[in-house]
Chain A
Amino acid sequence: MSDAKASERLVGIVLVSHSAQVAAAVAELAQGLAGGATAVPIAPAGGTEGGELGTSAELIAAAAASVDRGAGVAIITDLGSAVLTVKALLAEGDELPDNSRLVDAPFVEGAVAAVVTAATGADLAAVEAAATEAYTYRKT
């Protein structure tokens, strides 16, 4: 019984961008492209708390806590301080939920792949693999 329940828990996704609008729009895009049939917990963490371009450790920690269903949290970032802040928080040990992971993936394509995969009930490793694999899709 508890096993069945555990398998229903979905991996949470956090999208960290320097821009609040980019993070929110990519979250919406990924959910839309995933069909929205299953509600994958997804939260944007964009910009600073003051609404400027940048990265907020507080917003990232709050977003990760809000999508944590016990199956792990995949964190996808854009660049620079977004990457470094997540890495620094992971190194801290107690700022992010257990089993949170920085996923090496392109921001938009990786988010879509992660949400689609998470919607199937896949585990964190499978969600991470799908997001990372998005790097290999060539456009020309």
Chain B
Amino acid sequence: MLDADFFRRWMTATAASVDREAERLTALDSPIGDADHGSNLQRGFTAVAAELEKEAPRTPGAVLTLAGRQLISTVGGASGPLYGTLLRRTGKALGEASEVSEDQFAQALRAGVDAVMTLGGAAPGDKTMIDALVPAVDALGDGFAASRAAAEEGALATTPLQARKGRASYLGERSIGHQDPGATSSALLIAALAEAHGE
């Protein structure tokens, strides 16, 4: 079973990972974006970690809802409402339970990913965070390590794609040949999930 402490560890592991990888994320965002993805997410997840320490929410749902709200408030770029919606919807789907099963979490995360697709209008293959998140959710039934591998593979597979959403889509064919920064940070989020689970 997964408790509030597990979800707090997930968020703090994500904050540490985004902190380590911020320069790489921003570098990926330079040729096809506006070179702020790393610093935006760094600001967002640092705020999430600080808020979780201050508020200490007691249920898995409350941890993720608070984290999502904090991202929407602090990121300042499109990744704020997108990741914020992902975590908040996942948190809401977990309800008030003090512990959730891995199956319940997988279902809730799928609801979160669906909400991101509705908000941003992206589908798999559009060269977005969805290209890492959908394979991650699909693989979650096989465990957290499998989910992490699927997310990383999904992020790498965005390189040959042409962007169809967001600022990178203005570049048309010139977006081909670059790994998508959003899919890359989504893979970090899922890797942190496996890390929080001790894998």
Contact = CB atoms under 8 A, between A and B. Distances in A.
A81 B80 contact: yes
Interface stretch (A28-36, A87-95, A129-137): A87-95
A92 B69 contact: yes
A58 B76 contact: no
B33 to A, nearest CB: 10
A57 interface: yes
Most buried by B among A52, A58, A84: A84
Contact of A88 (B36, B40, B81): B81
Given A91-B85, A92-B69, A84 B119 contact: yes
A102 to B, nearest CB: 12
A92 B76 CA distance: 17
Interface in A40-99: 48, 52, 54-58, 80-81, 84-85, 87-89, 91-92
Nearest to A56: B76
A56 B76 CA distance: 6
B76 A54 contact: yes
Size band of the B side of the interface? 20 to 34
Interface residues of A, number: 16
Contacts of B85: 88, 91
B76 A80 contact: no
Given A85-B72, A88-B72, A92-B69, A80 B84 contact: no
Interface string B70-88: 0011001111111011001
A116 B40 CA distance: 37
B166 interface: yes
A26 to B, nearest CB: 20
Contacts of B40: 54
Contacts of A56: 76
A42 B82 CA distance: 27
Highest count of chain B CB atoms <10 Å: which of A80, A87, A88: A88
A70 to B, nearest CB: 26
Contacts of B78: 80-81, 84
B166 A89 contact: no
A135 B39 CA distance: 35
8 closest residue pairs by CB, A with B: A54-B76, A88-B81, A81-B78, A84-B81, A48-B76, A85-B81, A57-B73, A81-B77
Interface of A: 48, 52, 54-58, 80-81, 84-85, 87-89, 91-92
